[in-house]
Amino acid sequence: MCMTLTSASWAPASTAASSVPDPPADASGGLCAIHQPNLFPRLSTLAKLFSADYWIVLDDVQFARRDYQHRARLAALDDSSRQQWLTLPTHLPHGRPTLISQARLVDPRRSRRTIQLLVRQYYGRSRYWGAVAEVLDALDDSDRVADLARTSTTALLSALGWSGKVQGSTAIPTRQGRSERLADLAAATGSTHYLCGTGGLRYLDAAPFDTHGIPVLPFHTPVDDPLWRWARRCSSLWALSKIGPDALADQLTAQREAHHPGAHA
């Protein structure tokens, strides 16, 4: 059921950063999600990306050690409340101001070995281990934390049949304000709507999106289902190992349909 992920690319425009960039001629619309690259992302994050037609990878913002770019929380297969961090030692060449795209793995070979061993320890007994192993096999040899995190996410999305487009944020000209920047990134895809998670809703200003004519759709995941109990904390590797790619794809498809603009009409 795997589908090939495609990558949209646009050349940087000559538009001044203080003006509102126009969408490129090849933008094809749909729902847009903007999110930093996360290592084996949480189920809530994966569900939001799966619901979108575009994922803009926000990799040119400051790296945060307490975030999820270089680490993932693994939940035990038979007891999801038993959890452990998978953390990859990371070097920040410019100290705290280092951007996500600039962060480097201290020891790429050792990091990949740690991933293989710890993920197998947690999920090797799953009947769906083959799907998990395929995700691990897709990881590249880059020493960039952003590359590893992005690949881990696209491999999961591909395993679930997502056919959307992925685009890095660096090449897209935007204004400087936080919400203005997100709105300009969404407009660069020609998006009809912007999917915003619960964290982003706390600070997002919808006015710049209104300027582009892009409604903001709040994205929430279920709270009364055991599968989603730890959705905002634990890696989606647990859900993939627990119910398998077909059942998980069905779950995420239901979330996509629930958040489709037509569902709110």
Q: Where are the alpha helices (DSSP H) in 61-161?
A: 108-123, 129-137, 145-159
- Residue numbers of the chain with a pLDDT score lower than 70: 1-28, 263-265
Do the domain assignments include residue 153?
yes
Domain count, the chain: 1
Tell me if 207 is assigned to some domain.
yes
**For position 9, what pLDDT does the model report?**
36
Q: Is residue 212 domain-resident? A: yes
Residue 262: predicted pLDDT: 73
Integer Cα distance of 82 and 66 in angstroms: 20
pLDDT for residue 260: 86
Residue 122 within a domain: yes
pLDDT for 10: 34
Determine, yes or no, domain membership for 21: no
pTM score of the predicted model: 0.89
Q: Which domain holds residue 189?
A: 27-257
Is there a domain that residue 82 lies in? yes
- d(CA 39, CA 201) in angstroms, rounded, equals 22
Inside any domain, residue 3: no
Residue 142 placed within a domain = yes
Q: What is the pLDDT of residue 264?
A: 55
What is residue 115's predicted lDDT score, i.e. its pLDDT?
Answer: 98
CA distances to 53, 73, 167 from 63, in Å: 26, 18, 19
Question: 95: Cβ–Cβ under 8 A, 6 or more apart, which residues?
Answer: none
